[in-house]
């Protein structure tokens, strides 16, 4: 069997979430778990690793920011190929309470996490801190309302605008005020600097290193641990990650960019 | 399975073993090669996949109502020949211009210039005009041969390397690596360059001088040498003439006085002069940093002055090394694909064209021909009506691309043969699909005069044919050119036309090549030129006075822009931008700007800025770096998305007609 | 099992193998030893091939959307250092990459261990050329070929003279006696993150990629779309684009990338797979245009820094 072969979809839905972010909805059940990723592709455009934005066994959703050579072209694709799921997932089942901290385009795997936790009746065990650069960069308006019904949700922006009435500040500022008890887990995903500072804040706030989990972004091309691009220390981010336990990787000098 | 051939990129001429696998190729350096000893750079290893691009031209195309449609070879040749013939009859042979290519083989360049001259014009030129025409003319004036005087291997004997105006590790990486290996052994390295290139970090002395002040710098170095009596008096007495006038000229150029022009502290000039003059043999390596100026030919002659002054010609380890950009610039120039030179650098007005008339069976024209840029000017003025271009993309590579475009649009007939639909080919009436250098046989002559055989490794796509076949077919129909059966057939005629090539045969240059002159006097070729005498007898000192570059900064245009290549791409990118790895490493145009300048102008890394000259303006991303000094921006010319040559004015070296690509006054707008 | 074969026996063995496999071997081309299709044992040149035969398992570039049926190939004359590269990379990619896996299963490598260590090579530091893992290993002792076969190839040796381990042990001992045997063991603990070596190397490295391309253990590749194909092409971790992402580049500087290459070989792979990702073949050093010597990374006194 050729593991590089994607399953192709001619029928799919494209939803714009913001000026540069869109969601691809595929009519297929997601066998993967929150935190895992798939290789999304289109013939002639190329492949990109994308975390799944919907929960286990829901229909597949991928929310993508148009930044790279592939992701900027996928909205125009007629056919979407998908292979996966790959990598590790958020180990939420092991913990009583979960604090999820997401920055920018790190939010989709947290939506997937919410899906899964709500699905097993544990939505109330989740607390979400979600930050973006500006109000117009915040996505998931509908989903945010769903989260808020169950979970404690903090939304913040780095810089507000005249209409913005909510929090202004980095996500890190809200970690110490988290309602999640300190035996719970912290799941962190976002830009490198945000993750680095969030880890420091989480430790400061009393969370234990072995209970902190990170989703590492690296250049990934094969998804199956053979192309070598995502090497980080003794790990490959695509197969040993993307979700890493902080205590297992904190010794790596190249952990954050 | 596979064969030994020559890398299609720079003028180093690295030999490689290419083998065809089931669906791919194996690439490895040929370890016995005296050029590269088995080493290759990233372009050699990962730059060959353009050959298999689906965008390769596969069929002859004709433009109809602005669209290309496929036609047969027979149609394409007949139409081309009848158009060229009509125009020649109607307006005279000088209404047609021919552009050859340093990317093509010796055989093809020889045929292209032969075709032009059999048509009856000297309007034959190629991209050597834009890179090393000052070398050909300058060195012929001073030492009688426009070519590297030594071999790459002979650099092992060098004690001092003087590297000026060449970013060797990026543009001729394997020669750059050779220098590095020698410098690691403790040899001296003097680097003169406006940019802090990689070699600068390894240099004993780094002279980061102002663009365009080459003459002032070289004269001040010679001033120190003469002042201290470090010149090679024996060599000067026995081998040269004109020393007293050089001495008089350089006496005015003390490093102290010149500091205001070059920006170099006298102490550094002194140390450089001491090494160049005393720690011999000294090899002087240069490239476009010397030639692409309105004083390009003078710069070259001044490099020659320095070599003669210190006796650094004719011995292993010494010498003048003009590093050639294209893989066959040396060969295409040797073949006479230049308006003023017939094969073997016989001038059109020398009265010595009989041999060519006899071999070709047609009177060789003696009227002056047009240089590359003059062809487009003449086309814009309506004097040139048809241009036949082989393997060049002047719409990107020429200075003042606006004039090129005006000229091309004013033609009655444009014929282009290439391996891809280049920007220039897009303007053609007929486009002919050519085989790449990995798909045909022939010879290249590298930067050290080594004539090397290339072998056909792959089959050309579709109906693509080798350039020599195409020219021959056009020549046969247009002017009754011989019906050559193979490149080897053409090569034997080259041996009759150029004495310096007369001893070379396909069998004796394989596998490792031979350096010209190879003839009855030098049956094995010649590693070191001028060891006993110069072709013109004595070497000539031709003193040069400093003159400023054509463009000056002022309050408005307060930056100097300099153009060039980067490590990953090659010229207009026709090949390199179609290879995945090279394109990934350098995917977009950029302008290098100094860290302090960027801070002053509030420009951030990757911010889109406008660079505007007195001739044009482009938008481009900023790349902030301390490798470039304040007040200077560097922009590579590979990218059609931001054609830097739109900014370059029509300022030419009056002697060689090379445009001044290296000094353009610009302003930078955040 | 080990056998003693004569030159004539080797020809017979070759023809038996040829019945099942397409046969390739080392032959001389203008002074370089390269791999080509061969028809008989007598065509094979003994000696150091110009390159590792990596392309037999990992093509330099190919379309991953099209997994071809693999022909059975036998490759004669493989150097032990090159062969060992496959056993080392097996640990990471065998069973995961279908192209590599299928070719590995369909390719019979016949390795010819050297009798003396080559000038630059240091395979002795990794146990020497008489390997414990092989398919068919052809050692030479005088005029005799001491051929070892792994179990699944023993049927090819019907009627040949069996022998014990003694000669192999003797050859191994002789090889190691005059060999470099660099102190590789424990390098993962000695090597230093901020060693001055990395900047020393980056000041001269011209980013040619030769160290990766020549290496019998480097398996990294790039994946990109071209027309209807998804092409994989050998890649090099020395290049900055290898790790660049829209979020930035974890190894922006050349010294960081050179360090990564050595750390992957001597630290990371050791931790993840229990092996060094190096066989002492010296090909990276041999093909390096500026003489960066991997042996220096092993022998350098980091404690004095």
User: Looking at residue B23, what is its pLDDT?
Assistant: 53
Distance CA C134, CA C149 (A): 8
- If contacts are CB pairs under 8 Å, which of residues 50-79 in chain B contact chain C? 53-54
Do the chains contact at C97 and A46, CB–CB below 8 Å? no
Chain C interface with A: residues with Cβ < 8 Å = 64-65, 67, 92-93, 96-98, 100, 193, 219-225, 227-228, 230, 232, 235, 237, 242-251, 260, 264, 267-269, 271-272
The SS3 assignment for C33 reads: strand
Tell me the nearest-neighbour CA distance from A257 into chain C, angstroms.
5
CB of B34 within 8 Å of a chain C CB? The answer is no
Residue of A nearest to C245 (CA): A219
pLDDT level of residue A256 (50, 70, 90 thresholds): confident
3-state SS, A181-198, equals: CCCCEEEEECCHHHHHHH
Look at residue B231 and tell me whether its pLDDT is greater than 90: yes
Tokens of B525: 């070729």
Q: For helices B243-250 and B214-227, what crossing angle results, to 10°?
A: 110
The b-or-e profile of B299-310 (16+ CB within 10 A means b, else e) is bbbbbbbbbbbb
Do the chains contact at C208 and B4, CB–CB below 8 Å? no
Considering only CB atoms, A226 lies closest to which of C97, C237, C245, namely C97
Tell me the nearest-neighbour CA distance from C122 into chain A, angstroms.
25
Q: What angle do CA B184, B188, B192 make, to 5 degrees?
A: 110
| Mean pLDDT across B364-384 | 95
User: Looking at residue B583, what is its pLDDT?
Assistant: 94
Q: Cβ contacts (< 8 Å) between C65 and chain A: which residues?
A: 2, 4-5
Range with the lowest mean pLDDT among B19-33, B214-228, B265-279, B368-382?
B19-33
Give the pairing of strands B450-454 and B590-594: unpaired
Quickly list H helices, chain C.
Answer: 7-20, 80-93, 98-106, 166-177, 187-190, 197-204, 210-214, 254-263, 269-273, 283-287, 294-299
Residues B431/B421, Cβ–Cβ less than 8 Å:
yes
Distance CA B253, CA B169 (A): 31
pLDDT tens digit sequence for B102-123: 999 999 999 999 999 999 999 9
Task: For residue B514, list its beta bridge partners.
Answer: B451
Q: How many CB atoms lie within 10 A of CB B26?
A: 22
User: Looking at residue B24, what is its pLDDT?
Assistant: 60
Q: Cβ contacts (< 8 Å) between B23 and chain C: which residues?
A: 59, 61-63, 68
CA distances from B303 to A27, B194, B230, B377 (A): 71, 17, 17, 31
Look at residue C120 and tell me whether its pLDDT is greater than 80: yes
Do the chains contact at B177 and C60, CB–CB below 8 Å? no
- Superfamily the domain B2-52 falls into: ADC-like domains (2.20.25.90)
Do the chains contact at B4 and C291, CB–CB below 8 Å? no
ipTM above 0.85, yes or no: yes
| Mean pLDDT across C22-30 | 93
Distance CA A210, CA B305 (A): 72
Going B626 to B629 to B631 to B635, the CA torsion angle's sign is negative
CATH topology for the B61-129+327-437+458-480 domain? Rossmann fold (3.40.50)
3-state SS, B535-555, equals: CCECEECCCCCCCCCCCCCCC
Look at residue B19 and tell me whether its pLDDT is greater than 90: no
Tell me the nearest-neighbour CA distance from B655 into chain C, angstroms.
36
Among B579, B505, B397, B463, residue whose Cα is nearest residue B8: B579
Q: Choose the mutation target among A226, A240, A249, A257 for the interface with C, i.e. most C CBs under 10 Å.
A: A226
User: Looking at residue B325, what is its pLDDT?
Assistant: 87
Domains of chain A: 7-86 (2.40.30.10), 92-215 (3.40.50.80)
Q: What is the largest CA-CA distance in chain C?
A: 64
Q: What are phi and psi of B108, to 5 degrees?
A: -70, -40
User: Looking at residue B1, what is its pLDDT?
Assistant: 53
Do the chains contact at C59 and B23, CB–CB below 8 Å? yes
Distance CA B639, CA A196 (A): 38
Q: Cβ contacts (< 8 Å) between B28 and chain C: which residues?
A: 50-51, 214
User: Looking at residue A237, what is its pLDDT?
Assistant: 96
Residues C53/C227, Cβ–Cβ less than 8 Å:
no
User: Looking at residue B613, what is its pLDDT?
Assistant: 95
User: Looking at residue B398, what is its pLDDT?
Assistant: 78
Distance CA C130, CA B194 (A): 55
pLDDT tens digit sequence for C56-70: 999 999 999 999 999
> For residue B650, what is the DSSP state?
S
Distance CA B149, CA B448 (A): 8
Q: How many CB atoms lie within 10 A of CB A138?
A: 22
Q: What is the DSSP string of B490-530?
A: HHHHHHHH-GGGTT--TTTTTTT-EESP-SSSSTT--SSTT
Sheet containing strand A59-65, edge to edge, reads A13-18, A21-29, A59-65
Q: Cβ contacts (< 8 Å) between A219 and chain C: which residues?
A: 242-245
Name the CA radius of gyration of chain C, rounded. Answer: 20
Give B571 or B527, the one with higher predicted confidence. B527
Do the chains contact at A43 and C225, CB–CB below 8 Å? yes
Tell me the nearest-neighbour CA distance from A57 into chain C, angstroms.
25
Q: Choose the mutation target among A1, A2, A3, A4 for the interface with C, i.e. most C CBs under 10 Å.
A: A4
| Mean pLDDT across B591-596 | 97
Chains adjacent to A (≥3 CB pairs closer than 8 angstroms): C
Distance CA B479, CA B111 (A): 12
Residues C293/C262, Cβ–Cβ less than 8 Å:
no
pLDDT tens digit sequence for B179-197: 999 999 999 999 999 999 9
Distance CA A23, CA B545 (A): 67
Look at residue A155 and tell me whether its pLDDT is greater than 90: yes
Considering only CB atoms, C223 lies closest to which of A45, A47, A225, namely A47
The b-or-e profile of C152-171 (16+ CB within 10 A means b, else e) is ebeebbeebeebeeebbeeb
pTM above 0.90, yes or no: yes
CATH topology for the B559-669 domain? Barwin-like endoglucanases (2.40.40)
Distance CA B214, CA B298 (A): 9
| Mean pLDDT across A202-218 | 96
The SS3 assignment for A131 reads: strand
User: Looking at residue A60, what is its pLDDT?
Assistant: 97
Per domain, the residue ranges of chain C are 2-177, 187-304
The b-or-e profile of A103-129 (16+ CB within 10 A means b, else e) is bbbbbbbbbbbbbbbbeeebbebbbbb
Residue of C nearest to B26 (CA): C60
Tell me the nearest-neighbour CA distance from A111 into chain C, angstroms.
21
Among B249, B216, B236, residue whose Cα is nearest residue B277: B236
Q: What angle do CA A183, A184, A185 make, to 5 degrees?
A: 130
Do the chains contact at C213 and B45, CB–CB below 8 Å? yes
Average pLDDT for chain B:
95
Chains adjacent to C (≥3 CB pairs closer than 8 angstroms): A, B
**Scanning the structure block, which residue is given the tokens 């090909």?**
C283
Distance CA A128, CA A135 (A): 17
The SS3 assignment for C162 reads: strand
Per domain, the residue ranges of chain B are 2-52, 61-129+327-437+458-480, 133-322, 559-669
Q: Cβ contacts (< 8 Å) between C34 and chain B: which residues?
A: 1-2, 17, 19
Look at residue B571 and tell me whether its pLDDT is greater than 80: yes
User: Looking at residue B168, what is its pLDDT?
Assistant: 97
CB of A68 within 8 Å of a chain C CB? The answer is yes
| Mean pLDDT across A108-137 | 96
Tokens of B430: 């007929």
CB of B186 within 8 Å of a chain C CB? The answer is no
pLDDT tens digit sequence for A217-229: 999 999 999 999 9
pLDDT tens digit sequence for B66-84: 999 999 999 999 999 999 9
**Total CB pairs under 8 A between chain B and C:** 129
CB of B511 within 8 Å of a chain C CB? The answer is yes
The b-or-e profile of B63-95 (16+ CB within 10 A means b, else e) is eeeeebeebebeebbebbbebbeebbeebebbb
Do the chains contact at B1 and C61, CB–CB below 8 Å? no
Q: Choose the mutation target among B15, B18, B27, B42 for the interface with C, i.e. most C CBs under 10 Å.
A: B42
Distance CA B221, CA B268 (A): 10
User: Looking at residue A168, what is its pLDDT?
Assistant: 96
CA distances from B251 to B35, B149, B297 (A): 40, 28, 21
pLDDT tens digit sequence for C81-105: 999 999 999 999 999 999 999 999 9
CATH tag, B133-322: 3.40.228.10
Do the chains contact at A221 and C222, CB–CB below 8 Å? yes
Residues C17/C108, Cβ–Cβ less than 8 Å:
yes
User: Looking at residue B22, what is its pLDDT?
Assistant: 58
| Mean pLDDT across A185-192 | 96
Distance CA B586, CA B566 (A): 9
Looking from the CA of C48 toward its CB, the CA atoms found within 13 Å total: 16
Among B445, B465, B463, residue whose Cα is nearest residue B454: B445
| Mean pLDDT across A170-187 | 95
User: Looking at residue B21, what is its pLDDT?
Assistant: 67
SS3 content of chain C, % helix, strand, coil (to 5): 40, 20, 40
Looking from the CA of C211 toward its CB, the CA atoms found within 13 Å total: 26
> For residue B606, what is the DSSP state?
T
Considering only CB atoms, C290 lies closest to which of B32, B177, B585, namely B177
| Mean pLDDT across B402-417 | 94
């Amino acid at each position: 069997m050729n593991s590089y072969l994607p399953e192709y979809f001619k029928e799919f839905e494209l939803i714009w979430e913001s000026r540069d972010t869109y969601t691809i909805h595929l009519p297929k059940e997601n066998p993967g778990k929150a935190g895992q990723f798939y290789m999304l592709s289109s013939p002639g455009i190329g492949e990109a690793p994308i975390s799944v934005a919907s929960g286990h066994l829901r229909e597949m959703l991928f929310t993508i920011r148009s930044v790279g050579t592939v992701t900027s072209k996928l909205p125009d694709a007629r056919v979407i190929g998908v292979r996966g799921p790959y990598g590790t997932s958020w180990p939420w089942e092991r913990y009583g309470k979960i604090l999820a901290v997401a920055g920018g385009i790190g939010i989709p795997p947290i939506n997937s996490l919410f899906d899964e936790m709500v699905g097993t009746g544990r939505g109330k065990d989740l607390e979400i801190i979600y930050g973006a650069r500006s109000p117009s960069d915040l996505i998931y308006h509908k989903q945010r309302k769903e989260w808020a019904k169950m979970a404690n949700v903090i939304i913040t922006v780095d810089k507000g605008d005249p209409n913005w009435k909510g929090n202004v500040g980095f996500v890190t500022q809200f970690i110490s005020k988290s309602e999640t008890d300190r035996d719970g887990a912290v799941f962190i995903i976002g830009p490198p600097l945000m993750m680095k500072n969030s880890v420091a804040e989480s430790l400061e706030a009393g969370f234990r290193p072995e209970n902190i989990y990170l989703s590492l972004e690296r250049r990934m091309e094969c998804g199956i641990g053979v192309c070598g691009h995502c090497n980080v220390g003794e790990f490959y981010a695509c197969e040993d990650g993307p979700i890493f336990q902080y205590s297992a990787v904190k010794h790596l000098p190249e952990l954050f960019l | 399975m596979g064969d030994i051939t020559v890398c299609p990129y720079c003028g180093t001429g690295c030999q490689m073993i290419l083998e065809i696998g089931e669906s791919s190729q194996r690439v490895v350096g040929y370890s016995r090669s005296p050029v590269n000893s088995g080493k290759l750079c990233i372009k050699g290893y990962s730059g060959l996949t353009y050959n298999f691009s689906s965008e390769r031209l596969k069929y002859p195309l004709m433009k109809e109502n602005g669209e290309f449609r496929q036609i047969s070879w027979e149609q394409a040749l007949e139409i081309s020949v009848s158009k060229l013939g009509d125009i020649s009859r109607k307006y005279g042979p000088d209404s047609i211009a021919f552009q050859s290519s340093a990317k093509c083989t010796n055989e093809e360049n020889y045929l292209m210039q032969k075709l032009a001259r059999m048509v009856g014009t000297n309007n034959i030129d190629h991209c050597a005009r834009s890179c090393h025409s000052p070398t050909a003319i300058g060195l012929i004036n001073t030492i009688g041969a426009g070519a590297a005087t030594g071999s790459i291997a002979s650099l092992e004997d060098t004690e001092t390397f003087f590297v000026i105006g060449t970013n060797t590790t990026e543009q001729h990486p394997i020669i750059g690596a050779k220098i590095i290996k020698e410098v690691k052994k403790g040899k001296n390295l003097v680097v003169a360059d406006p940019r802090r290139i990689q070699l600068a970090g390894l240099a004993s002395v780094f002279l980061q001088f102002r663009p365009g002040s080459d003459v002032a710098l070289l004269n001040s170095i010679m001033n120190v040498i003469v002042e201290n009596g470090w010149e090679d008096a024996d060599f000067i007495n026995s081998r040269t003439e004109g020393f007293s006038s050089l001495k008089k000229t350089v006496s005015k150029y003390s490093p102290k006085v010149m500091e205001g022009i070059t920006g170099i502290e006298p102490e550094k000039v002194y140390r450089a002069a001491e090494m160049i003059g005393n720690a011999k043999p000294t090899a002087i390596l240069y490239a476009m940093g010397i030639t692409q100026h309105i004083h390009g030919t003078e710069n070259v002659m001044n490099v020659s002055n320095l070599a003669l002054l210190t006796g650094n010609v004719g011995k292993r380890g010494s010498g003048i090394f003009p590093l050639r950009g294209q893989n066959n610039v040396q060969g295409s120039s040797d073949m006479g694909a230049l308006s003023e030179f017939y094969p073997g650098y016989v001038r059109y007005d020398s009265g010595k064209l009989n041999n060519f008339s006899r071999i070709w069976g047609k009177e060789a024209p003696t009227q002056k021909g047009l240089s590359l840029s003059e062809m487009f000017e003449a086309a814009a003025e309506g004097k040139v009506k048809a241009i036949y271009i082989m393997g060049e993309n002047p719409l990107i590579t020429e200075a003042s691309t606006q004039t090129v475009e005006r000229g091309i649009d004013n033609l009655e007939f444009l014929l282009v043969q290439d391996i891809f639909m280049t920007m220039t080919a897009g303007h053609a009436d007929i486009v002919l699909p050519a085989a790449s250098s990995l798909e045909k046989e022939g010879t290249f002559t590298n930067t050290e005069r080594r004539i090397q055989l290339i072998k056909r490794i792959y089959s050309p796509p579709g109906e693509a044919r080798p350039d020599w076949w195409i020219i021959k077919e056009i020549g046969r129909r247009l002017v009754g050119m011989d019906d050559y059966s193979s490149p080897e057939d053409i090569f034997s005629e080259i041996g009759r036309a150029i004495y310096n090539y007369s001893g070379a045969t396909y069998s004796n240059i394989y596998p490792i090549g031979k350096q010209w002159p190879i003839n009855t006097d030098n049956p094995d070729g010649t590693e070191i030129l001028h060891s006993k005498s110069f072709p013109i007898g004595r070497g000539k000192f031709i003193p040069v006075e400093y003159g400023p570059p054509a463009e000056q900064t002022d309050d408005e245009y307060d930056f100097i822009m300099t153009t060039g290549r980067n490590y990953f791409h090659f010229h207009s990118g026709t090949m390199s931008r179609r290879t995945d790895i090279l394109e990934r490493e350098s995917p977009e145009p950029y302008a290098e700007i100094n860290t302090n300048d960027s801070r002053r102008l509030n420009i951030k890394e990757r911010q889109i800025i406008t660079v505007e000259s007195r001739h044009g303006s482009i938008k481009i991303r900023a790349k902030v770096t301390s490798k470039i000094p304040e007040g200077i921006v560097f922009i590579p010319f590979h990218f059609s998305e931001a054609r830097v040559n739109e900014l370059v004015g029509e300022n030419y070296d009056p002697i060689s007609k090379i445009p001044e690509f290296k000094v353009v006054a610009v302003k930078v707008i955040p | 099992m080990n056998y003693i074969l004569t030159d004539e026996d080797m020809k017979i063995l070759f023809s038996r193998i040829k019945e099942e496999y397409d046969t390739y071997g080392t032959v001389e081309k203008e002074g370089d030893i390269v791999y080509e299709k061969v028809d008989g044992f007598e065509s094979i040149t003994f000696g150091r091939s110009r390159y590792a035969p990596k392309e037999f398992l990992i093509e330099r570039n190919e379309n991953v959307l099209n997994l071809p049926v693999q022909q059975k190939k036998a490759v004669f004359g493989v150097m032990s250092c090159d062969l060992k590269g496959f056993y080392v990379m097996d640990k990471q990619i065998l069973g995961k990459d279908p192209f590599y896996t299928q070719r590995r299963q369909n390719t019979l490598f016949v390795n010819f261990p050297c009798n003396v260590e080559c000038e630059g090579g240091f395979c002795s530091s990794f146990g020497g050329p008489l390997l414990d893992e092989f398919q068919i290993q052809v050692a030479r002792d005088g005029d005799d070929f001491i051929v070892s076969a792994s179990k699944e190839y023993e049927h090819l040796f019907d009627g040949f003279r069996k022998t014990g381990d003694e000669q192999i042990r003797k050859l191994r001992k002789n090889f190691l006696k005059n060999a470099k045997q660099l102190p590789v063991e424990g390098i993962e603990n000695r090597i230093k993150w901020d060693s001055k070596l990395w900047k020393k190397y980056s000041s001269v490295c011209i980013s040619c990629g030769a160290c990766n391309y020549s290496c019998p253990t480097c398996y990294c590749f790039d994946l990109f779309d071209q027309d209807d194909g998804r092409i994989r092409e050998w890649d090099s971790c020395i290049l900055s684009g290898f790790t660049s992402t829209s979020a930035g580049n974890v190894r922006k500087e050349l010294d960081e990338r050179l360090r990564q290459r050595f750390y992957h070989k001597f630290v990371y792979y050791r931790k993840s797979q229990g092996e060094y990702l190096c066989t002492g073949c010296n090909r990276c050093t041999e093909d390096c245009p500026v003489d960066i010597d991997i042996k220096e990374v092993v022998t350098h006194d980091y404690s004095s820094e």
